[in-house]
């Protein structure tokens, strides 16, 4: 099963779209498999449960059909290297358990090394499937979780840079331009941003100052997230821009009726975060 042939992978996709022509939401995660059940983010921090289950199936996607009379059929794709059959079965069991309450969610496991040639072949194939089935940009997401916890070696550093740049270059092509903001990158093993991904198109070319990340880390871990009855006003333009292009994969977002997508990025359960960006560049966040 290790390093599947492309003919088999493409046939998997053709078959599932034949069986489920109503699929209207596609999510591809790269490097999201569960290797272990817990992780220590820093030498000083406590051990926490790994979030691989949320990387493979973000929490808001599990609840995307809340209050919908006709559920959206969803396809999630897990692209990773499973060295053993036991690894495949462990992750398949986890996925089956996660999706059991949500029969509208279907999944495909791609057991393949993620190298540039494979990205150059598979991403355009997937994009054309998405376009052929008229899946809107708001219902399509690619998320890259290939990050290394410890000091990466040369090959790992190359991989960390190659994967996001290659994906973005592909979806920036004219034929896929409508989906240019559909690719998200994981912050990695950051103690406070462990559950967050960001829009690569919007943020990777902009220099994110360490002070901005520090400010966001403070917001994420501050006690107001666990309080009620108060609000917080954020006026820093850079912080607002970054926050407006982040998702929290561990949060359940309230969804507007149309389009079927979470519009309030980082999952503080704020209705229409983007609409709160006023001309004064201020966000008022109710404590929940």
Q: State the DSSP string of 38-74.
A: EEESSTTSPEEE--HHHHHS-HHHHTTTTT-SSPPEE
Q: Is the peptide bond before 259 cis (omega within 30 degrees of 0)?
A: yes
Q: State the DSSP string of 112-180.
A: ----HHHHHHHHHHHHHHHHHTT--GGGEEEEE----SS---HHHHHHHHHHHHHHHHHHTSGGGGGGT
Per-residue pLDDT for the chain (288 aa), expressed as one digit of tens each? 455 677 788 899 999 999 999 999 999 999 999 887 777 777 677 787 889 999 999 998 888 877 777 888 999 999 999 988 999 999 999 999 999 999 899 999 999 989 999 999 999 999 999 999 999 999 999 999 998 777 677 777 888 899 999 999 999 999 999 999 999 999 988 888 888 999 999 887 665 667 777 778 777 766 445 555 456 667 777 788 888 888 889 887 533 333 333 333 433 333 233 333 333 344 444 433
Both tokens of 201, joined, read 């198109």
Beta bridge partners of 77: 28, 108
pTM of model > 0.85:
no
**Residue ranges covered by each domain of the chain:** 6-202
């Amino acid at each position: 099963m290790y390093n599947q042939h492309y003919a088999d992978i493409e046939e998997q996709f053709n078959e599932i779209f034949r069986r489920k022509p109503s699929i209207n939401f596609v999510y591809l995660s790269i490097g999201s498999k569960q290797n272990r059940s817990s992780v220590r983010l820093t030498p000083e921090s406590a051990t926490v449960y790994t979030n691989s289950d949320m990387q493979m199936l973000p929490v808001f996607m599990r609840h995307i059909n809340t209050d919908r009379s006709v559920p959206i059929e969803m396809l999630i794709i897990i692209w990773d290297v499973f060295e053993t059959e036991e690894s495949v079965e462990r992750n398949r069991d986890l996925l089956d358990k996660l999706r059991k309450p949500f029969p509208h969610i279907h999944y495909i496991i791609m057991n393949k090394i993620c190298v540039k040639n494979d990205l150059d072949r598979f991403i355009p194939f997937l994009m054309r499937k998405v376009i052929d089935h008229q899946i809107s940009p708001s219902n399509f997401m690619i998320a890259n979780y290939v990050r290394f916890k410890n000091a990466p070696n040369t090959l790992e550093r190359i991989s960390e840079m190659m994967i996001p740049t290659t994906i973005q270059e592909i979806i920036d092509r004219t034929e896929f331009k409508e989906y240019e903001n559909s690719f998200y990158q994981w912050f990695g093993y950051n103690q406070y941003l462990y559950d967050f991904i960001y829009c690569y198109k919007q943020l990777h070319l902009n220099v994110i100052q360490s002070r901005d990340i520090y400010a966001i880390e403070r917001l994420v871990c501050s006690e107001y997230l666990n309080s009620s009855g108060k609000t917080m006003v954020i006026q820093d333009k850079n912080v607002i821009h970054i926050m407006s292009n982040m998702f929290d994969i561990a949060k359940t977002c309230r969804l507007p009726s149309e389009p079927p997508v979470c519009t309030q990025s980082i999952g503080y359960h704020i209705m229409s975060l983007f609409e709160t960006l006023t001309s004064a560049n201020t966000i008022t966040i109710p404590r929940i």
